[in-house]
Amino acid sequence: MNAMPSAGPAAASAKAPYFSVRNIHAYYGESYIVQGVSFDMAEGDVVALLGRNGAGKTSTLRTLARATDPELKSGEIWLNGAALHKMRDFEAAKHGVQLVQEDRRIIPGLTVEENLQLAQIAEPKGWPLERIYERFPRLAERRHQEGVTLSGGEQQMLAVARALARDLKLLLLDEPYEGLAPVIVEEIERIVAEIKQMGITTIIVEQNAVAALQLANRALILHMGEIVFDGSAQAVLDDAELRNEYLAI
Ligand SMILES: Nc1ncnc2c1ncn2[C@@H]1O[C@H](COP(=O)(O)OP(=O)(O)OP(=O)(O)O)[C@@H](O)[C@H]1O
Ligand SMILES: [Mg+2]
């Protein structure tokens, strides 16, 4: 192995990060909420996005997924060369950005299977249903049941399964353990850990910061719409003062 690494100008210039958020500002009407957030992620990074209630975590995720509310007024969002900041939510989803919201957004009147099929109406598709049912046997058992009648934990599984049913390049999870019994939390944790193993770039917002930090390799702390910490997850676990100042733990 004596081949020399190539060392032209192209090799010297830094490779563009897989996901790059550059100075984004977003508003709900007149309310200025996301106040100049910037960070980069390498492919396969798992970032815990933390901060106190009202810090702007949900608003940041919604901005990244290109929801209309809050409205992105300036800044850039790049995923694998795609300019997300120029897109609407459905276009960002086609480019692989899948937001699993806290309320899970299961569509009433549709069965589990129909919820999954609906996710696959638009190309490009992700996992085929057989693969989803193999990984989520509870969903397979309940495929003909109306999605909104599932338990909270099962609905969370369906919401994650729906993201996997689409082309998934960036998974945005907003409080996936919220309101779930500990045994179900463990089950969802195993699923998220598998998603990490698959190398899917993920941002996880979680009130239970310790659980999120144990899963993540990196952490961002938001405070009043701004990033006040960007570093390793371990650094936050090790820094009680930092946690005390910006987190409720
Ligand atoms: N639809 C909205 N219209 C106006 N202001 C909003 C709206 N949604 C959220 N906000 C405000 O934006 C700020 C950030 O809220 P956000 O929900 O992003 O915080 P969060 O960090 O997710 O909080 P939590 O931990 O409680 O979920 C808060 O001050 C909130 O009141
Ligand atoms: Mg929130």
The answer to whether the predicted template modeling score (pTM) of the entire model surpasses 0.85 is: yes
Does 165 reside within a domain?
A: yes
- The conformation of residue 128, written as its DSSP 8-state character, comes to -
Does 167 reside within a domain?
A: yes
Q: What is the pLDDT of residue 103?
A: 85
Task: Check whether 14 has a pLDDT greater than 70.
Answer: no
- What's the whole-number average pLDDT of the chain? 92
Task: Check whether 180 has a pLDDT greater than 80.
Answer: yes
Contact between 123 and 186 under an 8 Å Cβ cutoff? The reply is: no
The CA-atom distances, in angstroms, between 188 and each of 67, 109, 161 are: 25, 25, 11
Long-range contacts of 121-127 (CB under 8 A, 24+ apart): 122/90, 122/93, 122/94, 122/166, 123/94, 124/94, 124/166, 124/167, 125/165, 125/166, 125/167, 126/163, 126/164, 126/165, 126/166, 126/167, 126/168, 127/164, 127/165
Does 7 reside within a domain?
A: no
Does 45 reside within a domain?
A: yes
For ligand 2, the distance from its centroid to the CA atom of residue 100, given in whole angstroms, is 12
Ligand positioned closest to the Cα atom of 222: 1
For ligand 2, the distance from its centroid to the CA atom of residue 2, given in whole angstroms, is 52
For residue 100, give the CATH number of its domain. 3.40.50.300
pLDDT per position as a tens digit, 63-76: 999 999 999 999 99
Does 207 reside within a domain?
A: yes
Kindly indicate the confidence band of residue 15, based on its pLDDT and cuts at 50, 70 and 90: confident
pLDDT per position as a tens digit, 130-177: 999 999 999 999 999 999 999 999 999 999 999 999 999 999 999 999
Does 159 reside within a domain?
A: yes
Ligand positioned closest to the Cα atom of 27: 1
Q: Find out whether the beta carbon of 98 lies less than 6 Å from any atom of ligand 1.
A: no
Q: Which atom of ligand 1 is least distant from the CA of 52?
A: 25
Does 28 reside within a domain?
A: yes
* Residue 20 belongs to domain spanning: 15-246
For ligand 2, the distance from its centroid to the CA atom of residue 56, given in whole angstroms, is 7
Q: Which atom of ligand 1 is least distant from the CA of 62?
A: 18
3-state secondary structure of 114: helix
Overall domain count for the chain: 1
Higher pLDDT, 182 or 9: 182
Does 239 reside within a domain?
A: yes
For ligand 1, the distance from its centroid to the CA atom of residue 76, given in whole angstroms, is 21
> Across residues 111-131, what is the average pLDDT?
94
Q: Find out whether the beta carbon of 225 lies less than 6 Å from any atom of ligand 1.
A: no
Task: Check whether 239 has a pLDDT greater than 60.
Answer: yes
Kindly indicate the confidence band of residue 249, based on its pLDDT and cuts at 50, 70 and 90: low
Q: Find out whether the beta carbon of 62 lies less than 6 Å from any atom of ligand 1.
A: no
Ligand positioned closest to the Cα atom of 62: 1
Q: What is the amino acid identity at position 71?
A: E
